[in-house]
Each structure stands twice: as structure tokens, then as C-alpha cells.
Structure 1
């Protein structure tokens, strides 16, 4: 079981010419630049300064966004998939949909503006992912994530913490092989965050989990750390091995040490 990014490039921003006093500034930049990494089963936490490419990496890997160059290869359950600009342009719908059914993705910006009722939406997702007994899966998901009081509420009317919990829950309906979460703490209340940590531990050793976060305490849960800078991988390895190079053995100290030798620095939560 693995994911391999091979020379992946991705521009982010807009092609429109800036106006007024910002006319001289370029609005496009590299989100990913010659990104080449291989990941295997386990929990990988992605760290890096603002605009280092963390969210871009997750968007491209989830197939929400298309690479401008390079390819991503997914291998699991004796199957292999490729996501690239060529694949997207060829419209290989069956292959792409099969891949997407095995991915659960929670974006950083979580907005719901739909009239669909919460439980009904989970049933539809279970059907899409070809889950046996979709109604039962929806009921189990509602119970696990504490959503029973809102099961008949339209998604667009959910309170923000409940909406964040729903998005976490909905990303797991299909038992994804690859679970991708961007800034999991954003929008979650304490209860929701505890449920997220419980799910993280439940999935340990069951597929690939990819998390982008600024929370270095959460990064202690990782099997692997991936440090990004300017759209490229600066360092990757087992968390225990990387943090053994600092006296207290914490991710926070290791990250600060790495930033000492970096041109770009950021302050993370400890």
C-alpha cells in the first residue's frame, strides 16, 4: 500500500493581471514544485510554513485538483491508479471514480449550503461508495459522531461545530483506504476534536492517513512527518527517528530546529 508523487507541479492563484498599486505583483505562484515523495501505510502529518504547499498537496492528492505536471500513483488492494493532467483530460471516468470511492477528504474551508437532510446525505454517500446496507451505515455514522439531534436538519442550517463534525463523519462513510484531512481542529468543538482523535487511533494501521496541520501536539500522533517548504518536500521520515535528533524528542523542538536553518519561519501551536 503506497502513494507516490512523481515530479508533481501545481500552480495556484489566478492568471488575471493585478490592478492598481498591486499591478507589479504576480498573483500566481508554485503550490507544488517538482514534488517527489513516496508514502506507505500509516499516519503522515504534513508540516510547513504558510504557503508552503500543504493544502495544495492535499487537494491534488484527493483528486479535487489536477496536477499541472507529473503524476500521482496509488497502489492498494492489488490495484493501481494514476492521477495526472493526462488522466483527467482523457476522462477515464470509471478509473477515476473507482479511485475517488476509496478516498475520504475533509478540506480546510468547510461550507455547507444544501437543503439535503443530514441523514439522507449520508445514505446517498453510502450508496455512492457502494457500501452494503447504506441505511445502516448512515445510522451508525450519526451515532458515532454525535449527530442524532441533527439527523433531520438541512445541511445548510447546521451550526458550525456540527457542520465540521458532519464533514468528518461523511468523509469516512465509505471506509476510505486514504483519509485526507486539512487542519482537523478548524471548526471542531472539544467533543468533535476528541471524536477525531478517537477515529485517528481506530484507523491506525488501516490504510493511509494524510493530515496537514499547524498543531505540533497533534503531530505527535504521526507515524511519519513530511516537512514542506516552497512547494517541495524538505524532509520526510519516521517521526521517532526524526525527533530523536533533539534533546526532548518532541515534534515541536524538531520543527523549531529545522526552522532555524530555513529562510522561511513560522510559529506553530505547541
Structure 2
């Protein structure tokens, strides 16, 4: 296992008859950002809480740098929970300094770090305000600062982009990228798949407590179905019906999107399109992360 990797190895968790995790496994290497995606209730938050020691697994193990994660290691992890957990009546700077000291920093060191991160995250003018008096977006920035104030070796963030305005999204994206470039393993969950596709080195898709897809965005897209975009302005809506290995995804105003399986022949599709008149576009594409995720959810519903 690479040095500095966070490894979640076949962890399982039950609540009575409900299986929350079923031998969940994933690895986040140092200097890598992994997007953790899945439907609500798929097991993402449970996985993160077990990695932090907030919950105990029924079986399996969490390791960092090849060694089991103990209390000392957890103290070096930065965690941003989905349900924000800061003190609403405490002032921003005072709170961040306090959290830094809880992680073992000296008072002066924690104060410097708290000032640095409030400046970095655009909170300098809010340092002396109570958390509850800030906007939700600024509260979220404070929560990120709380995860970063002790200079963690690992970052685990649960829905960090939820509710942020575009400016705050860019600030958080930049900070996470910087930590990744410093060699920190970064894992975050999100339903904003466009952000996951743009930011992450790898993506893990979880369904029913198991990892069902894990790889780079391009690897996952390449393993998905081939999509074909055809613009034949005079073609009737049903022109592609009945073609071997072809499913019509959408058809409107002469623009048709087709899904091709392994038995389809794109030249046969082209001939059928040309029979309707001129063809202005005929291009192959791979599905986006949104489309891949939709397929996973569809499979889950079908099951």
C-alpha cells in the first residue's frame, strides 16, 4: 500500500436487519482526491464515520499508511461532517483556535493557524462574530477551516459543497486542490457530480453499502455505453427504432441521441440516418458522470 494512503478494507455494518455496509472497500492515496458518490442511504456517511472512529464496524479494518487507524492517527485527520457540528454562540476565531488546541497545537500556533485560515477562506471580517450570526455559506467556510486548522494529514469531507454559492465553491475547490497537491489524501462525498467530475482524480460509486465502480472519470466513462449523437433534420422521430443493438435515448427536432451496445454497428446506423435525408452531425461520445450515476440508480431501482 502506498505510503500515506487511507485504506478502508472490507468494512461491514448492520443495524438489526438493515445492512448499511457490505464489505465496503476503497483506497485513497496520498496526493489523490477521490469523489465518493451514491444515492441517499447508500452508505457514504457511515463509511466516513467508521473511518473517523465515530462508529465501530462489525468487521473489516481502516488503515492509514499500512497501520490500523487509532486515536493518535484520527487526531491527524481533518473531518467535515454533513451535519455541521460547531458551537453556534462561540466566536469564529475563538472557536477555531480552541479546535486547534484540541488537536494538540500550542495556543500561539493554533491562533496563527486560525487567523491564516479565516484570511484564506474570506472570513477575516467575521472573526469576532458568533457563528450563528453568519450566513449558511460562511458557516460552511468556518466548518472547512475547522477541518484544516490543525494541518491534517488526511481530509474526509461529507457534502462539503452543499449550499455554497459559486464563489465559495471555487474557494473550497482551490483549497482542496492545494491540499491534494501537498500529498494529502482527500475524499469527499457529493451529489454535485459536475464538481466531482471536474475536481477528482478518481471516483467511487457506492450502491447498497458496496463499492460498485471505482476508477478515474475517464476509466469509468470508457467502461460505460457508447452514445451516438445524430442530427438528421428530416428524419422522423422513429427512424432508429429496430436497429440492432441501438436504444433511442432522446429524439427531438431532428436531434437524436442513441445508446449503442456491443452488437451495434455504427455504419448501419449512419446508413439508416442517410436514408432520411442529409446528416449534419454524426458523433460518438462517452456518458458523463451524471449519466453513469443515473444508470447505477436505475439498476438499484430495478433490483
When normalised by structure 2's length, the TM-score is 0.70
1:165 and 1:153 map into 2 onto residues whose CA distance is: 14
- Please say if residues 204 and 215 of structure 2, whose CA atoms lie closer than 8 Å, have aligned partners that are also in contact: yes
What's the offset of the Cα at 1:64?
2.2
> Alignment partner for residue 74 of structure 1, among 43, 64, 71?
64
User: What residue number does 1:59 align with?
Assistant: 49
When normalised by structure 1's length, the TM-score is 0.78
- Please say if residues 101 and 174 of structure 1, whose CA atoms lie closer than 8 Å, have aligned partners that are also in contact: no
Q: Where in structure 1 do 4 or more consecutive aligned residues deviate above 6 Å?
A: none
> Alignment partner for residue 75 of structure 2, among 101, 104, 110?
101
- Please say if residues 53 and 228 of structure 1, whose CA atoms lie closer than 8 Å, have aligned partners that are also in contact: yes
User: What residue number does 1:263 align with?
Assistant: 300
User: What residue number does 1:92 align with?
Assistant: none
- Please say if residues 80 and 144 of structure 2, whose CA atoms lie closer than 8 Å, have aligned partners that are also in contact: yes
Question: How many residues of Structure 1 are paired with residues of Structure 2 in the alignment?
Answer: 234
1:115 aligns with 2:89: yes
Q: Evaluate the alpha carbon distance shift between residue 128 and residue 8 of structure 1 in structure 2; reply closer, same or farther with a 3 A threshold.
A: same
1:48 and 1:117 map into 2 onto residues whose CA distance is: 35
1:171 aligns with 2:208: no
User: What residue number does 2:21 align with?
Assistant: 32
1:263 and 1:189 map into 2 onto residues whose CA distance is: 31
1:209 aligns with 2:176: no
User: What residue number does 1:250 align with?
Assistant: 288
1:264 and 1:82 map into 2 onto residues whose CA distance is: 36
What's the offset of the Cα at 1:199?
0.8
2:204 and 2:162 map into 1 onto residues whose CA distance is: 20
1:2 aligns with 2:39: no
1:192 and 1:116 map into 2 onto residues whose CA distance is: 22
| The 10-residue stretch of structure 1 (177-186 or 248-257) with the greater mean CA deviation from structure 2 | 248-257
What's the offset of the Cα at 1:256?
3.3
Unaligned runs of at least 5 residues, structure 1: 16-27, 84-94, 266-270
What's the offset of the Cα at 1:107?
1.1
- Please say if residues 81 and 99 of structure 1, whose CA atoms lie closer than 8 Å, have aligned partners that are also in contact: no
Which structure has the higher relative contact order (CA within 8 Å, separation 6+)?
A: 1
Q: Evaluate the alpha carbon distance shift between residue 204 and residue 245 of structure 1 in structure 2; reply closer, same or farther with a 3 A threshold.
A: same
- Please say if residues 24 and 211 of structure 2, whose CA atoms lie closer than 8 Å, have aligned partners that are also in contact: yes
User: What value does the CA root-mean-square deviation take over the aligned residues?
Assistant: 2.2
Pick the structure with greater CA Rg.
2
